[in-house]
Amino acid sequence: MIAEQYYEDFEVGQRFTAGSLTIDKDHAVAFANAYDPQYFHIDEQAAASGIWGTLVVSGWHTAATTMRLKLDTPLGKAAGGLVGLGIDSMKWPRPVYPGDALSIVITIIEKRQSKSRPSHGIVKYKVETLNQDGALVMEMVTAVWVPYKNA
Amino acid sequence: MIAEQYYEDFEVGQRFTAGSLTIDKDHAVAFANAYDPQYFHIDEQAAASGIWGTLVVSGWHTAATTMRLKLDTPLGKAAGGLVGLGIDSMKWPRPVYPGDALSIVITIIEKRQSKSRPSHGIVKYKVETLNQDGALVMEMVTAVWVPYKNA
């Protein structure tokens, strides 16, 4: 159990890891049926002759799974909750296949006091989502508000 | 039924709309339990004394629902599928509450031929996700590869 974290607890260059979580085929297809019902996500036969030659996991399922993994890191214990300020960039350099086991590496890349709300700081970080071979399947740069312990 | 769409079918300034889809409380809590189990997404009582004073929908559930709505627009009929090239920016300016009905407005903001793959073009677009009052709950800028019909 990681203790609640404050702005002072984070430093540029810190790295946190979490995982792995496996996305099995049934879950991949169910998620895609609900949110991203394209043939290469839901129809194994059609996917076989599609651009990847097999079923692939929706990028939004990978993103949601990455969120789940973030909560297992110290960043997920930020006081007040992991409330996103928005995404600076996000990309999916290679597909995730059903059965892949995902893990993440978070790197803190910037921190500064909020001008509009000086009791809080803004912690910017990169999240790399990796498959079981350590290959990058998603990369995101984002930031979170975190309160100071001693404001 | 929208016909399959090619690069030539898209023009800068075009706008497409789709919706609405309601995110009910049971689905909001189930999604958050799987992917974003923070108290303000899953625990109605705890959420009441949290930062929003009530349950709110995970931003990743809003993003996934936005994906589903995109497939109901001409962009969702791009030949070869709506394969994302990554996100340039994404933000959640206000919360989504369980029971909110979401719709989207897509605006094509740029198009150009791919240098690496001249049989395809890159169509950049903005997606605004709105609640039932027309208030902006998510905004994303992203792009998609689309093949030329007559390359």
B91-133 tens-digit pLDDT? 999 999 999 999 999 999 999 999 998 999 999 999 999 999 9
Q: Is B79 near chain A, with CB under 8 Å?
A: no
Distances (CA, A) of A21 to A1, A45, A67, A79: 18, 26, 11, 25
**Helix or strand run (H / E) with residue B133:** none
Structural contact between residues B8 and B148, judged by C-beta atoms closer than 8 angstroms = yes
CB contact under 8 A, B63 and A59: no
Q: Convert the pLDDT of each residue in B36-46 to its tens digit.
A: 999 999 999 99
Query: Using a CB-CB distance cutoff of 8 angstroms, which residues of chain A are in contact with residue B83?
Result: 51
Q: Which residue matches tokens 């992917």?
A: B35
CA atoms within 13 A on the CB side of B56: 18
CATH of segment(s) B7-147: 3.10.129.10
Q: What local confidence, expressed as pLDDT, does residue A51 receive?
A: 85
Query: Using a CB-CB distance cutoff of 8 angstroms, which residues of chain B are in contact with residue A58?
Result: 67
Q: Is A35 near chain B, with CB under 8 Å?
A: yes
Listed residue (B98, B83, B92) closest to B41, CA to CA = B98
Q: What local confidence, expressed as pLDDT, does residue A1 receive?
A: 67
Chain A window 38-77: which residues touch B at a Cβ cutoff of 8 Å?
Answer: 38-40, 50-51, 58-61, 63-65, 67-68, 71
Q: Which residue matches tokens 């071979």?
A: A133
DSSP class of residue A51 equals T
Residue of B nearest to A91 (CA): B86
ipTM given for this complex: 0.94
Q: Is B12 near chain A, with CB under 8 Å?
A: no
Global pTM? 0.95
Q: What local confidence, expressed as pLDDT, does residue B81 receive?
A: 79
The structural domains of chain B, with segments of one domain joined by +, span 7-147
* Rounded mean pLDDT, A138-151: 92
Interface contacts (A, B; CB < 8 Å)? 82
Query: Using a CB-CB distance cutoff of 8 angstroms, which residues of chain B are in contact with residue A37?
Result: 68, 71
